[in-house]
Chain A
Amino acid sequence: MKRALPLVGLHVLVALPWLPLGPARLYILHVVILILIWSVVGTAWSLMGRFGLVSLGHGAFLGVGAYTTVLLWNFWGVPPWIGTPLAVAAACFLALVLGYPCFRFRVVGHYFALVTLALGEVIRLLIIAERDWTGGSLGVTLKDAGAGAVNLVALQFADRRVFYFIALGVWLAGLLVWRWVDRSMTRSALEAIGEDETAAASVGIPVTRFKLKITLLSATLTAVGGVLYGQYVTYLDPGTLAGIGVSLRIVFAVVLGGMYTLLGPTVGTALTIALAEYLRVAFGVRFLGMAETIYGLALILIIIFLPAGLYGGLRELWRARPRPLAAATPPVRPA
C-alpha cells in the first residue's frame, strides 16, 4: 500500500498526454508542464530553505540559467546541450560569489535573506541594462531552429508532449536529489548547523563547506529549471525570471506546500499555478490582483494553522490519525 500510491501516481503522470481530457487537453498539458518546471525550482529552493538558509533571490539563478542558454543559442548557435552545462556553471559561480563570503563571515538569518534579495535584483537590473544582448525589459525570444517539428540539437519541439516528458524527467531527477540529500550525512550536518552554528563547528562539522555545497546544489537545480523554462516558453523577460517578484513567488509556493517534505514544494507550486490560472480564466481582466490577494490570504492562514505547509501539515494529521493497531505505526521522523 505504501509503495503503491506513488507508483499509481507515476503511471498517471506518464499516461497523462494520452488521457481523454476533453477539448482543453493542450491547455491542461501546458499548465502541467509549467507546474513541473516551477516545481523543480521550488524543490531546489527547499533544499536550502529547510535548513534555515532562506534565499529571497533564487530568481538570480533562474535568470542566469535561462538567459545563458537562450543567448548562447541566439548569438552563436550554441545548442542547449552545451549551453546547459555552461548555464549551470554560471549559476554555480554566482552561488559561490554569494555564498562563500556570506558563510565564511557568518552572514546568517535575516541578513543572508537580504543579501540574496539584493542579488536577485542586481541580476534583474543587469539584464535590463544590457539591452543590446538581452532585449532589456522587452525580453528576448528564443530563435526558432526551423528544420521541422522535432529538433534534437536545439531541443525545440512543436509537440508539447516531448516537453512534457522532459519536464517530468527533470522533475523526478530533482526529487531524487532532494531525497538523496534527505538521507545523507549532509542533512544531519546542515540540521545541526541550522540549530547552532558554533556548536556545529565545535563538534567538527565544516560549516562553510556544507552550506556552500547545498547552495551550489540548489543553484544548479534552479538553473536547470531556468533552462527548461527558456526552451519551453521560448520567451524570456527579466520580470518573470529574475528579481524580487519571481524570487518571492518561489518562496510562497514552497512555504505553502511545505519545505520539509519531498512533495511539499510540488504541491505548493501546483496549487499556486492552478489558482492563478483558474482566477485568470474565471475573472479575466476584471479583478486584477485577485490571484495575489488570495495567495496572500492563503499563505497567512497556512503559516498560522499549518506551519509545516499544506502537504506537510496534512501528512502529519494523516499520520497522527487514530488507528486500530498502534504497533503498526511507523515512527514519525522529526521534520
Chain B
Amino acid sequence: MLEVDRVTAGYGEFTALWDVTLRVSAGEAVAVVGPNGAGKTTLMRIVSGLVPIRAGDLRLDGDSLKGRRAHEIVSRGIAHVPEGRRIFPRLTVEENLKMGAFLPAARRHYAETARRVWDLFPVLAERRRQRAGTLSGGEQQMLAVGRALMSRPRLILLDEPSLGLAPVMVLRLFDLIRRVREEGYTILIVEQNVRQVLSLVDRAYLLEVGRIQVEGRAADLADQDFVRKAYVGI
C-alpha cells in the first residue's frame, strides 16, 4: 500500500534521512523504532507531506505522492497523528473532531465517523463539550487518534503516541491502538517503547542515524539484541 523508495530528506543543510526504503502492505501494522534523533519523526513527516523529499519516491497504491502538499495527502487517505499530540487546546473535544473531518469527503460522513470514534473512545464522548486543553495526557492522545480517524483514512501514522504518558496509560493506549487495528486500519507507528510496540505490530524497521539498519518480522525481532540496539543504538 505505502512504499517509501530510497528516500533522502532533511531540513536545510541537514540531512535527516539517507536512502530509506520501507513498505507497508494493506491491513498491516508496521513499527519504526530507533534511538533519539534517528530520523523517525522526519520519516513520518515526509509520508504526510510536511517535509519535502529530496531524492527517491513515495508511493501510495502505486501513485507517487512526491511533491504533494499535506492536505492532498490527507485526502488520499493517510492520516498523521503528530508527535506531542498537537490537538487544538482551546477548541472543544467535539470541535477537534470536526476539524479532523475538514475535507469535504470526510465532512459528508461526519456523524457516522464520529459515532465510531465515540464508541472507540467512550471517555471522549463524556467530555465532548470540554476544552481539549483540559484533558489529561492520555485523553489528549486518544483525541489525537480520534481526530485522525475522522478523515476516514486507510493508513494511520502514529508518531510516538506514548510520549509523556504514565506507564498505566501507555498500556491502555496500546490496547486502544490494537482495537483501532482490528477495525481494519493500516498502521505505521513510531515508538520508543520497543517491547510493547513489537507485541502490537507485524513487522518492524530499526532506523539509526537516518538509515534503515534492520528489518524483519516483529516476532523475530523481539530478542534482546534488537531491543538494545533500538534503545541505545549500539
Is A154 an interface residue when CB atoms closer than 8 A count as contact? no
Closest chain A residue, CB of each to CB of B88: A195
Is A189 an interface residue when CB atoms closer than 8 A count as contact? yes
| B-chain residues with CB within 8 Å of residue A195 when the two chains form the complex | 88-91
B76 vs chain A, min Cβ distance (A): 10
Is B98 in contact with A188, judged by CB distance below 8 angstroms? yes
Is B74 in contact with A199, judged by CB distance below 8 angstroms? no
Is B188 an interface residue when CB atoms closer than 8 A count as contact? no
Is A191 in contact with B91, judged by CB distance below 8 angstroms? yes
Would A204 and B71 be within 8 Å (CB), given that A192-B88, A192-B91, A199-B86 are in contact?
yes
Is A334 in contact with B147, judged by CB distance below 8 angstroms? no
What 1/0 mask marks residues of chain A from 20 to 47 whose CB sits below 8 Å from any chain B CB? Answer: 0000000000000000000000000000
- From 79 to 109 in chain B, residues with beta carbon under 8 angstroms from any chain A beta carbon are 79-82, 86-92, 95, 98-100, 102-103, 106
Closest chain B residue, CB of each to CB of A195: B88
Closest chain B residue, CB of each to CB of A335: B90
Closest chain A residue, CB of each to CB of B147: A203
Please pick, from B49, B71, B87, B90, the residue contacting A334 in the complex, using a CB distance under 8 A: B90
Would A196 and B71 be within 8 Å (CB), given that A189-B102, A202-B50 are in contact?
no
Give A188 to B49 CA distance when docked, in angstroms: 22
Is B48 an interface residue when CB atoms closer than 8 A count as contact? yes
| A-chain residues with CB within 8 Å of residue B69 when the two chains form the complex | 206
Is B99 in contact with A202, judged by CB distance below 8 angstroms? no
Is A145 an interface residue when CB atoms closer than 8 A count as contact? no
Is B91 in contact with A203, judged by CB distance below 8 angstroms? no
Is A198 an interface residue when CB atoms closer than 8 A count as contact? yes
Number of contact residues on A: which range applies? 10 to 19
Q: Is the interface of A mostly helix, strand, loop or mixed?
A: helix
Is A201 an interface residue when CB atoms closer than 8 A count as contact? yes
Is A202 in contact with B91, judged by CB distance below 8 angstroms? no
B8 vs chain A, min Cβ distance (A): 21
Please pick, from A185, A191, A199, A206, the residue contacting B71 in the complex, using a CB distance under 8 A: A206
Is B90 in contact with A203, judged by CB distance below 8 angstroms? no
Please pick, from B49, B89, B92, B102, the residue contacting A203 in the complex, using a CB distance under 8 A: B102
Give A199 to B106 CA distance when docked, in angstroms: 17
Is B151 an interface residue when CB atoms closer than 8 A count as contact? yes
Is B29 an interface residue when CB atoms closer than 8 A count as contact? no
Would A205 and B99 be within 8 Å (CB), given that A195-B91, A199-B87 are in contact?
yes
Closest chain A residue, CB of each to CB of B73: A204
Please pick, from A200, A202, A205, A334, the residue contacting B48 in the complex, using a CB distance under 8 A: A202
Is B151 in contact with A204, judged by CB distance below 8 angstroms? yes
Is A198 in contact with B82, judged by CB distance below 8 angstroms? yes
| B-chain residues with CB within 8 Å of residue A203 when the two chains form the complex | 74, 79, 99-100, 102, 147-148, 150-151
Please pick, from A191, A199, A334, the residue contacting B82 in the complex, using a CB distance under 8 A: A199
Give A205 to B88 CA distance when docked, in angstroms: 13
B157 vs chain A, min Cβ distance (A): 9
Is A202 in contact with B82, judged by CB distance below 8 angstroms? yes
Q: Which of A189, A196, A203, A334 has the most CB of B within 10 A?
A: A203
Give A191 to B86 CA distance when docked, in angstroms: 14
Is B201 an interface residue when CB atoms closer than 8 A count as contact? no
Is B98 in contact with A196, judged by CB distance below 8 angstroms? no
Q: Which of A185, A200, A204, A334 has the most CB of B within 10 A?
A: A204
- From 275 to 317 in chain A, residues with beta carbon under 8 angstroms from any chain B beta carbon are none
Is B103 in contact with A204, judged by CB distance below 8 angstroms? yes
- From 32 to 51 in chain B, residues with beta carbon under 8 angstroms from any chain A beta carbon are 48-50
Is B88 in contact with A196, judged by CB distance below 8 angstroms? yes
| A-chain residues with CB within 8 Å of residue B49 when the two chains form the complex | 201
What 1/0 mask marks residues of chain A from 200 to 230 whose CB sits below 8 Å from any chain B CB? Answer: 1111111100000000000000000000000
Would A201 and B102 be within 8 Å (CB), given that A192-B88, A196-B86 are in contact?
no
Give A26 to B48 CA distance when docked, in angstroms: 62
Is B117 an interface residue when CB atoms closer than 8 A count as contact? no
| A-chain residues with CB within 8 Å of residue B4 when the two chains form the complex | none
Is B124 an interface residue when CB atoms closer than 8 A count as contact? no
Closest chain A residue, CB of each to CB of B76: A204
Is B82 in contact with A204, judged by CB distance below 8 angstroms? no
| A-chain residues with CB within 8 Å of residue B230 when the two chains form the complex | none
| B-chain residues with CB within 8 Å of residue A206 when the two chains form the complex | 69, 71
Give A189 to B49 CA distance when docked, in angstroms: 19
Is A201 in contact with B88, judged by CB distance below 8 angstroms? no
Q: A200-B99, A202-B48, A204-B102 are in contact. List 19 more A-B contacts (CB 8 A).
A: A185-B102, A192-B88, A195-B90, A199-B86, A199-B88, A201-B49, A202-B70, A202-B80, A202-B82, A202-B86, A203-B79, A203-B148, A204-B70, A204-B74, A204-B75, A205-B71, A205-B99, A207-B71, A334-B92
A interface list, Cβ under 8 A from B: 185, 188-189, 191-192, 195-196, 198-207, 334
B interface list, Cβ under 8 A from A: 48-50, 69-71, 74-75, 79-82, 86-92, 95, 98-100, 102-103, 106, 147-148, 150-151
Q: List 7 A-B contacts (CB under 8 A).
A: A192-B102, A196-B88, A198-B50, A204-B71, A204-B75, A204-B106, A204-B151
